[in-house]
Chains A and B, each alone.
Chain A
Amino acid sequence: METTSIMPLLILISSIIPGILILMLREHQVALRTFLNLSGAVAKVALIAWVFAGYMRGEEYNYYFRLAPDLSFALRVDQLGLLFATLSSVLWLVTTLYAIGYLEGGKHRRRFFAFFSLCVTASTGIALSGNVITFFIFYEFLTLSTYPLVVHRGTDDAVEAGRTYLWYTIGGGTLLFLGVVGLIVIAGPIYFGQTEIIASLASVNPTSLTLLFFLMLAGLAVKAAIFPLHGWLPVSMVAPAPVSALLHAVAVVKAGAFGIVRLVYDVYGIGVAEQMNLLTPLAVLAAFTIIYGSLRALFQDDFKKRLAYSTVSQLSYIALGVAIPGILSSTGAIVHLVHQGIMKITMFFAAGNVAETYGYKKISQLNGIGRRMPLTMGAFTIAVFGMIGLPPVAGFISKWYLGLGAAEAGSYWVILVLLISSALNAAYFLPIVYRAWFCEPDYEASKLRGTTRLETQALLLIPVVVTAIFSLAAGVFASAAGSPLSIAREIAERLYLYLL
C-alpha cells in the first residue's frame, strides 16, 4: 500500500501528452502529428509490457494521490487490469494506424486524434484504477473524450447520435455516481480486491448494499449495452469506422463490461454477491440481451448496424459469465473481454475498408466482394467463425469455458442460451460471408476497381490482417503460457482461492 511507483502514471501520460500536443498543432502538420501519435502508442505498449514483465516477477506498481480526505486517486496494477490495459494499448496502436489511413485528407483530423488519445487514456485509466472512485473518474472522462469522436463528421445525423449517446452515458454516470458515493459512505474508500469489507457489512446492511449494487450495475450496464440500456450503441454507428471499432471493441463497451467484472469480483466479491442473490437478475438480463441483440442483428441490412447489434449480444457473454459463479465461467467471462475485442475490431476494420474503398455500406451490396478484397474479407471470415464459436478461433474458447462453467454450476438453461445464440450468430454472419465469396458481383460493381495495387491502402489492410491473426492465435495457442486464456484462468483461480 505504501510503495508508490510512477509507472502507472507514465502509462497514462504516454497518451495524454500526445493528445494535448496534437490539439496545439496546426491542422496541416501531418507528419509531426503522426509522429506524436505513433510514438505515444508505441511508448504505451512498451511501458505496459515493461510493467507486465515486472509484475510477473512480483514487483508492485502502485500510485496514490490524495485528492481530499478519503478521496484518493489510486492506480494499482493487477493482473486483470493489466490484461485490459494490454488489450487497450495494443488495439489502440493498431487503430491509430488504421485511423491515419482512414481519415487521410479528411477534415478536423487534429481534433480527432487529440480526443482519440484522450479516449485511450481514459480506457487505460479504467484498467489501472485501484479504487472505485478512480474508476468512476475515468469512466466519466471516457464519456467526455468519446463525444467529439462520435459527432466527428459534424453532420446532423452525427450530432443527433451524439445527443443520444450523451443522454444514455451521462444518465448512467449519474446512477453510478450515486452508487459510488453511497458505497463509500457505508464502506469507506474501497480498493479493488478488498472484498472482505463488503463481506463484513453484508449481514449488517443488506438492503442498502443490494440497492447500491443495482444502482452501480445500472450505471455500468449503459456502457456495457445491456438491454434495455443499449439504445445508444446502434445509433452511434454514424461515427467514422475507427471510432466504431474503438468504441465497440475496446473503449466504451469494454469499460462497462470491465466495470461489471470489477464490481462483482473485486468490490462485492463473488461469494457475497451470490449469497445476496445479486447475480440471478444479472444473469437473466444478460441472457436476454444475448438473444435480443442477435435477433435484432438478423434484420439489419446496414453493415455497421448489424455489427453493432452483434456487439450488444456478444458483450453480454461477459456479464453472463460473471453472473455464473465458478472458476470456469469466470475464466470464460474474463477471456471474452479480450477475445470479443480482437474479433469485433477485425470486423469493424473490414466494414470500414469496404466502405472506404468501394463505398458499400449495405450488406446487400457485398456480392462478390471477397474476390476484390480477399485479405479484408478473409480476415472478416476468421472473425465470423470466431463469433459463431468455431474452433480454433478465439471465440470458441470463450464459449467453451462459458458452457463448461454453466454445466458445472448446474445452470443448464445457460447452455441453451449459448446454443441458440451461436445459431443466431451463424444466421446473421454467414450470409455476409456467403455473399462475399460465392455470389456473383453485380454487373456494374464488377467494373469498379480499387485505385491501388493492393486491394486497398496498406494502412487499412495491415490492421485488419493483424487483428485477424490475433483472433486466430488467441485460439490456437490458447494453452500457451501468456495467452489470454492462461492469464484469465490464473485470475479466475485466484478469485476463488478464498472461497474454497
Chain B
Amino acid sequence: MIHLPSSPFPALLVGLPILMATLSLFFRPGGKAAVGLMGSILTAGLALIAFVEVTQRGTVIHILGGWEPPLGILLRMDSLAAVFIGMTAIVGVFISLYAWGYFRAQETSAEGLPLFWPLWLFLWAGLNGLFLSNDLFNLFVTIEVIGISAVSLAVLTGKTPALFAGLRYLLAAITGSMAYLFGVSLLYGSTGTLDLGLLGEVLEPGPTTSFSLLVITLGLMIKMAGFPFHFWLPPAHSSAPAPVSALLSALVVKGAFYILLRLWMEVFGVSLTYAAGQLIGLAGAIAVIWGSWQALIQTSFKLIVAHSSVAQLGYLLMVFPLLILAPGVSADSADWLSPAWTAGIYQVIAHAFAKASFFLSAGLIIMALGHDRIESLRDLVGNMRITALAIGIAGVSLIGLPPSGGFMAKWMLLKGIFLSGQWWWAPVVLMGSLLTAGYVFMLLRLAFAPAREMNTFRPVPKSLEIIALMLALGSFLIVFPADSLIQFLESSGVFGSGIESIIEGGVYGND
C-alpha cells in the first residue's frame, strides 16, 4: 500500500470544501452564496484534475501529516473512488449552479436558506472523504459528517412537514450509523485492525465475522434506504428544497452503496454465502417493484420522484446476489462478474444524473405553479418545453431505454443475471422497467394533454431549465465513454483480488 505513488489531491479533495464551507460562515447571506458557489466550482475542478491523475498514474495515496497507518490516516484514490468522485463533481457542480439561480429567483426571506452553501460543502467533503477512506473508522466518521449535513439540509426550510420528515431521517441515519459502528467494533475486537486491505487478509470465517457482516450490511442498507428500511426516504427527499432533494437522491444515498460494494467485494469475501446474496437481492427486487408501484400511484411530482428513488436503489441491491454463485455452479469469473458490478456502477451514475435532473425540474414546476400536484402538469409542453424535454429524457434513462446510461445498467444487469444462471431476477428487472415506463409516461401524457382550466405558469429562468436539461442529457452521454470507463475500473484491479476470494471462498489477496 505504501509503495503506491503519493499525491496531494486526496487531501485537497476533502480539505478544500471544508475550508470554503468554513470561510462562507463568516459572510452575510449574499456572500455565503458567492463563496459557496466558488467553493463548488473549485472542488469540482479539483476533482476532475484528480480524476485525470488517476487515469494517468493509477491508484494514488495520501498519508495525512506523514503519519503512516495504522497510526495515521491514509487516503487512497483508486479508479473506483475516482469514478465516484468525478460523478459527484459533475452532478454537484450542476446542482450548485442551479441552487445559485434557484434561491435567488425564489427571493425567500427564510433565514436558513443561505446555510445551504456551507452545509452542502461539508456534505461534499464528507462524500469525497468516504470515497477515499481506506479504513472502517474513517468511513464511520465520513458517514456521520454526511448524515448530519444531509439531515440539516433536509430541514433547511424549517417548514413543519420538512421537520417531521427530517426527524425520521435523523432517526434512520443514527440507527444506521450505530449498527455500522457496532459491527466495526466487533471486527476490531476480533482482528485488531480497521484497515480494509489488512482486514481482507486476516479475516477468517466464523460467527463473529458473519454477525458483524450482517450488522454492517443492515446499517448501510438503512442508510441507502434499501427495502424494508426505505420508509424515511420519500418524505425526506420530497419535502426538501429542490436542489437539496437532488443532492440527497443523486449523491448521498450512493455513499452507503459505495461502502457496501467495497466491503462485500474487498473485505468480506470469505464469509459471504449464497443465501446472504439472495436475501439482499430479494430486498432489492421488492424495492424495485414496490417503489415503482408506489411512484405510479402518487399524485405529487416530488413524491413520484422520491418513490422512484426507492425503486432505482433496489436495482443496486440486486447486484449483490450476482456476485456469489450458487454452491456447485461454476462460471468463468471474467464473464459473469464484470457485467454485474458494471451494472451497479452504471446504475449509480445514470440514476445520479437522471434523478438530479428530475428533482431540479420539480423545483422549476413548483416555481412556476406554486405546487407540484401532477394534474396541473397539463400542457407543460406548451408552457415549459425545456423542462418537459428534460423530464422526458431523464425519464427514458430511468426506464432504461437505449441509448441511455440506464439502458447500459439494465443491459449489464440482465447479462449478469443470465451469466450467473440466476434467471429468476430477470422478470423483476423487466417489471421494474414497465412500471417505471408507467409513471414516466403518465407524467409525459399529462404534459402533452390539453389544459383543462387556465393554468397559470409563472415564467421561470430559462438558465435553470437548461441546467435540468443538461443533467438529463448527461444521463445519455455517459454511455459513450462506457468502454474506456469499464477498462479504467478493471485496470486498477479494484475488484480483482476480492473476486478471487469470492470464487475460491479463500483468503483475500493471495496472489
B483 & A66 in contact (Cβ 8 Å cutoff): yes
Q: Total contacts A to B, CB within 8 angstroms?
A: 85
Task: Check B414 for interface membership: any CB of A closer than 8 A.
Answer: yes
Q: State whether A181 touches B411 (Cβ < 8 A).
A: yes
Is the Cβ of B482 less than 8 Å from the Cβ of A177?
no
B418-A185 in contact (CB<8A): yes
Report how far A111 CA is from B389 CA in the complex, Å: 11
Instruction: Judge if A426 is at the interface, Cβ distance under 8 Å.
Output: no
Shortest Cβ gap from B180 to chain A (Å)? 33
- Contacting residue for A159 out of B415, B448, B482, CB 8 A: B448
Q: Is the C-beta of B73 less than 8 angstroms from some C-beta in chain A?
A: no
A185 pairs with B419, CB closer than 8 A: yes
B401 touches A140 (CB 8 A): yes
Chain B residues closer than 8 Å to A136, beta-carbon distance: 402
Residues of the B chain whose Cβ atoms lie less than 8 Å from the Cβ of A147: 444
Decide if B445 is an interface residue (CB 8 Å cutoff). Answer: yes
Q: How far is the CA of A148 from the CA of B396 in the complex (A)?
A: 14
Question: B448 touching A148 by the CB < 8 A rule?
Answer: yes
Q: Mark B376-404, 1 if CB is under 8 A from A, else 0.
A: 00010110010001000000100101110
Stretch of A165-173, A297-305, A359-367 lying at the B interface: A165-173
**Chain B residues, Cβ within 8 Å of A67:** 403, 408, 479-480, 482-483
Given the contacts A68-B482, A144-B401, A159 and B445 also touching, CB distance less than 8 Å: yes
Q: Per-residue 0/1 for B399-427: is the Cβ within 8 Å of any A Cβ (1 yes, 0 no)?
A: 10111000110111011001100000010
With A and B bound together, what is the CA distance between A420 and B185 in angstroms?
81
Chain A residues, CB < 8 A from B437: 166, 170
A-chain residues with CB within 8 Å of residue B433 when the two chains form the complex: 174
A177 close to B449 (CB less than 8 A): no
- Is B434 interfacial (CB-CB < 8 Å)? yes
CB distance from B327 to the nearest CB of A (A): 22
Q: Which residues of A contact B396 (CB under 8 A)?
A: 144
8 Å CB contact of B450 from A23, A155, A171, A178? A155
Q: Which B residues lie within 8 Å of A444 (CB)?
A: none
- Say how far B493's CB is from chain A's closest CB, in angstroms: 16
A450 contacts chain B at the CB level, 8 A cutoff: no
B511 to chain A, nearest CB (A): 23
CB-CB < 8 A to B271: which residues of A? none
Asked if B450 contacts A137 (CB within 8 A), the reply is no
| Docked complex: A130-157 residues within 8 A CB-CB of B | 136-137, 140-141, 143-144, 147-148, 151, 154-156
* Given A159-B448, A159-B449, A170-B437: A141 and B483 interface contact (C-beta under 8 Å): no
B338 and A69 contact, CB distance less than 8 A: yes
Do the beta carbons of B426 and A178 come within 8 Å of each other?
yes
Residue of A nearest to B450 (CB): A154
Contacts of B486 in A (CB 8 A): 68-69
**A141 in contact with B403 (CB, 8 Å):** yes
Nearest-CB distance from B316 to chain A (Å)? 19
Distance, CA A130 to CA B426, complexed state (A): 26
* A199 on interface, CB distance cutoff 8 Å: no
In contact, A182 and B448 (Cβ under 8 angstroms): no
Closest-by-CB residue of B relative to A148 is B448
Most chain A beta carbons < 10 A, residue from B342, B382, B402, B445: B402
Closest-CB distance, B486 to chain A (whole angstroms): 6
Interface membership of B457, Cβ < 8 A: no
Partner of A154, one of B414, B430, B444, B449: B449
- Please report the C-alpha to C-alpha distance between residue A184 and residue B412 in the assembled complex, in whole angstroms: 12
Give complex CA distance A67, B487 in Å: 11
Write out the residue numbers on chain A whose beta carbons fall within 8 Å of the beta carbon of B188: none
Interface residues of A in 172-201 (CB under 8 A from B): 173-174, 177-178, 181-182, 184-185
Alpha-carbon separation in the docked complex, A256 to B416 (Å): 28
Report yes or no: A170 in contact with B434, Cβ–Cβ below 8 A.
yes
A162 close to B (CB within 8 Å): yes
* Min distance, Cβ B221 to any Cβ of chain A, angstroms: 28
Contact B402 A140 (CB under 8 A): yes
Tell me which residues across on chain B come within 8 A of A296, comparing CB atoms.
Answer: none
Q: Let me know if B274 is at the binding interface, CB within 8 A.
A: no
Q: Given A68-B482, A154-B450, A171-B434, answer yes or no on A137-B415 (Cβ-Cβ < 8 Å).
A: no
- From A137, A151, A177, A185, contact of B448 by CB (8 A): A151
Which residues of the partner chain B approach A156 to less than 8 Å between Cβ atoms? 449-450
Q: Which of A143, A147, A162, A177 has the most CB of B within 10 A?
A: A177
Q: Would you call A371 an interface residue if the criterion is a C-beta within 8 Å of the partner chain's C-beta atoms?
A: no
* B430 and A178 contacting across the interface, CB-CB below 8 Å: yes
Write the chain B residue with the least CB distance to A185. Answer: B418
> Residue of B at shortest CB range from A152?
B448
Residue on A with the closest CB to B427?
A: A178
Within 8 A of A (CB), among B443-471: 444-445, 448-450
Instruction: List A1-58 residues whose CB lies under 8 Å from chain B.
Output: 23
Q: Look across to chain B and name the residue whose beta carbon is closest to the beta carbon of A159.
A: B449
Closest to B482 in A: A68
In the bound complex, how far is the Cα of B377 from the Cα of A159, in angstroms? 14
Does A71 interact with chain B (Cβ within 8 Å)? yes
B483 A69 Cβ-Cβ under 8 A = yes
Of B338, B403, B408, B412, the most chain A CB neighbours within 10 A belong to: B403
Q: Is the CB of B418 within 8 A of A182?
A: yes
Contacts of B482 in A (CB 8 A): 67-68, 71
Is A435 close to B, CB under 8 A? no
| The residue from B401, B414, B445 contacting A181, defined by CB atoms under 8 A apart | B414
A181 to B418, Cβ gap below 8 A? Answer: yes
A411 to B42, CA, bound (A): 74
Tell me which residues across on chain A come within 8 A of B448, comparing CB atoms.
148, 151, 154, 158-159, 162
Closest Cβ–Cβ distance, residue B446 to chain A (whole Å): 8
Chain A residue with Cβ nearest B346: A68
Question: How far is B426's CA from A73's CA once the two chains are assembled, in angstroms?
Answer: 24
Task: Say yes or no for B441: interface residue by CB 8 A criterion.
Answer: yes
Residues of B within 8 A of A181 (CB): 411, 414-415, 418
- 20 A-B pairs besides A73-B403, A154-B381 with CB distance below 8 A are A23-B389, A67-B408, A68-B408, A68-B411, A68-B412, A68-B482, A69-B338, A69-B486, A108-B382, A151-B445, A154-B379, A156-B450, A166-B437, A170-B434, A170-B437, A174-B430, A174-B433, A177-B414, A177-B430, A185-B418
What would be 30 A-B contacts, judged by CB atoms less than 8 Å apart? A23-B389, A67-B408, A67-B480, A67-B482, A68-B342, A68-B482, A68-B483, A68-B486, A71-B411, A71-B482, A137-B403, A137-B407, A140-B402, A144-B396, A154-B379, A154-B381, A154-B382, A154-B448, A155-B450, A170-B399, A170-B441, A174-B433, A177-B410, A177-B414, A177-B430, A178-B426, A181-B411, A181-B414, A181-B418, A185-B418
In the A-B complex, the 4 residue pairs with the smallest Cβ-Cβ separation, listed nearest first, are A137-B402, A185-B418, A181-B414, A68-B482
